[in-house]
Amino acid sequence: MVFLQFPPPSFRATSLPTFTVPITASSRVSLPACITLNSTSLRNWALDFRPKSLNWVFSGALALSLSLTGVGFAEAKVGVNKPELLPIEFTPVIDVAGFLSDGQEKRIAQEISDIEKDTGFKLRVLAQNYPDTPGLAIKDFWQVDDRTIVFVADPTFGNILNFNVGASVDLDIPRSFWSRLAGKYGNMFYWKERGEDASIEAAVMAISNCLREPVGPNNCSEVK
């Protein structure tokens, strides 16, 4: 999984190599110079690392992973698991922060349904203000897998757009797309001027447009 999150300016970062999971969209896998892996070994190594990383991400309540610049870890947050904050019935949009109107939730849910029908990828949206979040509970509630994009809208740490991207999605969507998406619609100036709801809706539509593009060297090169 690829996890993107944005630390506050006061957070201390420690330089570490970046991994496919969980990392920021702009980060790349870095191996020590003394290690050389062929493509098969590298793929097996990454696949073996994913489940452990996924558990770490969710047990951290979808709080902080690597910074957007990919230079290091931000300080870890205490894990949160609050299944009582989950809705009774299944929905691809959970808004515990109250950013979205009922009409906006319905439009986003319909767009998500169309995305899944047309592309096979699952988009899930969680709007929260950490630590008021279901946290780990959403993993089972949404049955998160390699074809799932978990989009967490949380303005707590500055940039409101954060993504946890499944391995199969990561194969088709360039990681630069997620950093450009966050930079365009998630920055503090954008959501403070237009509202958290505007950032969320714009990001969902940009993801929808990207997922519908044919896979190739130039797919998702623009955030629409």
Provide CB contacts within 8 A for 7, sequence distance 6+. Answer: 13, 64, 67, 74, 75, 157, 158
For residue range 3-46, what is the model confidence (pLDDT) as tens digits?
Answer: 444 444 433 333 333 333 333 333 333 334 433 445 444 444 44
Which CATH architecture is the domain 83-212 placed in?
A: Roll (3.10)
Residues 195, 199, 202, CA angle at the centre, nearest 5°? 135
Q: 0.75 cut: is pTM over it? A: no
For residue range 128-187, what is the model confidence (pLDDT) as tens digits?
Answer: 999 999 999 999 999 999 999 999 999 998 999 999 999 999 999 999 999 999 999 999
> Structural domain boundaries of the chain?
2-73, 83-212
Strand order in the sheet with 93-95: 2-3, 161-165, 148-153, 122-127, 93-95
Q: CA dihedral in degrees (103, 104, 105, 111; nearest 10)?
A: 110
Instruction: State how far the alpha carbon of 165 is from the alpha carbons of 17, 23, 24, 69, 89, in Å.
Output: 19, 9, 10, 17, 24
pLDDT classification of 77: cutoffs 50, 70, 90: low
Q: Is the dihedral of CA 153, 157, 158, 162 positive or negative?
A: negative
The CB density around residue 192, as the number of other CB atoms within 10 Å, is 12
